[in-house]
Amino acid sequence: MKVMITGYGRMGKLIEKTLTSAGDQVVARIDLDNSTMLETLEKVADVIMDFSNPSFTDQVIAYSSRTATPLLSGTTNMTALQHKALADLAECGGPEGHGVPVLWASNYSLGINLFMHLLPQVATALEDWDIEITETHHNKKVDAPSGTAKSLADAIDPEGNYKRVDGRSGNCGVRSKKEIGIHALRGGTVTGEHKVDFFGNDEVFEITHKAGSRQILVDGAIGAARKLILKRPGLYDMESLLFGA
């Protein structure tokens, strides 16, 4: 598999190391310092693996559109317009109005995606229980709450019927049944921990996922990329790739 990496930070470098060890070829490494290459570079890869930041997203989408290169994105904290641009790219954004295979996920860990697959079932069974999400990450993470925490909330409440409450402070009043609290902790070198608590009367049910290293994200992303390049144009997520939804 020939791969273009956009966003050459810690994730990008670990992706390259893992791909090279597996016999794959990294044909381009694009970051902010050489991003103008995307304006003229022709198609060189089977897939783009993008783990950059939202300030770079529009350029990556434009390149994918011009060259019809499948795009796997793990960039979080994108705007609603950028998510719409990904959907448009998948549907008709390629050359001559053809779509492009596109996959976006906030987290490529197999465990997290199983977590999100199970959550709707748990939430339905415990529909009258109070729901709180807690995420913990290292002290270098710049955004909060994490993209994964937001995705967990979306898995519980895909229709947006619950108010999302980012932490609580002061005289915030009695907790509503129709809210999901999301709390962010930062410290040390924690790769990533996510917990969803369901609080009932006299009992608590919780699901927790702990990431030991970034390698689980890299392995999941590379596995997803191998599947994506075999897909027809369209917008995919990990749910559809793993569980055929």
- Catalytic annotation on 83? no
The DSSP symbol for 94 reads S
- 75-83 LR contacts (CB < 8 Å, sep 24+): 75/7, 75/50, 75/51, 75/104, 76/106, 76/143, 76/146, 76/147, 77/53, 77/143, 77/147, 78/54, 79/54, 82/54, 82/57, 82/58
The DSSP symbol for 178 reads T
Rounded to an integer, what distance in angstroms lies between the CA atom of residue 166 and that of residue 197?
15
180 close to 162: Cβ distance less than 8 angstroms: yes
* Encoded amino acid at 203, one letter: E
* Residue among 2, 141, 227, 231 flagged as catalytic: 141
- Catalytic annotation on 150? no
Q: Half-sphere exposure of 120 toward its Cβ, with a 13 Å CA cutoff?
A: 11
Active site residues: 137, 141
